[in-house]
Amino acid sequence: MSPDEELRQLRRLRSLVVTGLALGIAGTTAANVLHAQNSTPARIISAWAPLTLFFVLEVITRAPTPARWWLRLTVWLGATVLGGGAAFVSYRHMVAVASRYGEDGTAAHLLPVLVDGLVVVMSAFLVDLSARIRALAAAGAPEIPSPAHPTRQPAPELPAAPDSLGDGPDPISRLRSISIVGDAHPPYGDTASALDDDTTRAERLDIAVEAYEYLRGAGEVTRTAWLAEFRRRGGRVQSDAITGLWADTQARGATLGDAARHG
């Protein structure tokens, strides 16, 4: 099973678990409301505990785990206290309601255990499934290596570039006049269907080369790290033109490096 298929399956299971949890919370809330006095404030107060527990469980399973250990401890202690309090209140109310509507002593005490047990089991599954979904989603995202510890990969073969760099005072400005031999890449967004930004193709290539040079100063440059740095500097490029921009950037970066060594 591929990671995408496993992720979809886990999300379907999570929806089923949330449905079971909602069913248990609904049963608990109904028992609390039936046990309350015949007034709106009393019913609102009686429904508060199970609804709060459901909301807290949703937040715990969907929000990122706190980075600090004492925050994680606070969250789980608070959730434990809240769950225990809600279970205690719900148990007493459900026993009274079951007895009122004809259940004998044993059945009246077992019904709350069944309902609260459903809530506990579904809560445990919900926490576990949410953690696995987050782990799979993070594993499927592209990893961006740090410039301090770059990932090495072989560079593709590039067309030859002219030896002359021109007489411009700025190396980046001089690179604008260089044309790559056999350049058949699509433009970087300057067509009619391109991105609606104000940067020209030359300016976009300047940003790409600057990002390339910045990362090369820390070690070998990867395409993923270069693209992240390019976008961090405000560069924008169509997805189908990334390969062309990457190849031109490598070629001009190599030419710039040769010029620096001979200069």
All domains of the chain in start order, with CATH: 3-140 (1.20.120), 171-262 (no CATH)
3-state class of 37 per DSSP? coil
CA distance 82 to 125: 18
Helix (H) or strand (E) holding 256: helix 242-262
236-252 tens-digit pLDDT = 888 778 888 888 888 88
pLDDT of residue 263: 56
Is residue 144 within 8 Å of 225, Cβ to Cβ? yes
Burial 201-239 (b: 16+ CB within 10 A, else e): beebbbbbbbbbbbbbeebebbbebbbbbbeeeebebbe
Tokens of 10: 């886990």
Q: What angle do CA 251, 156, 159 make, to 5 degrees?
A: 45
Determine the Cα–Cα distance for residues 191 and 211; give it in Å rounded to an integer. Answer: 24
What torsion, rounded to 10 degrees, do the Cα atoms 60, 64, 69, 73 define?
A: 0
Regions in the chain scoring below 70 on pLDDT: 1, 140-199, 257-263
pLDDT in tens, 156-199: 555 554 554 444 445 555 444 444 443 444 455 444 344 444 45
pLDDT of residue 259: 61
pLDDT reported for residue 179: 41
pLDDT for position 13 = 92
Q: What is the pLDDT of residue 206?
A: 87
Give Rg (Cα) of the chain: 31
Helix (H, G, I), strand (E, B) or coil at 26: helix
pLDDT of residue 15: 92
Q: Specify the pLDDT at position 258.
A: 62
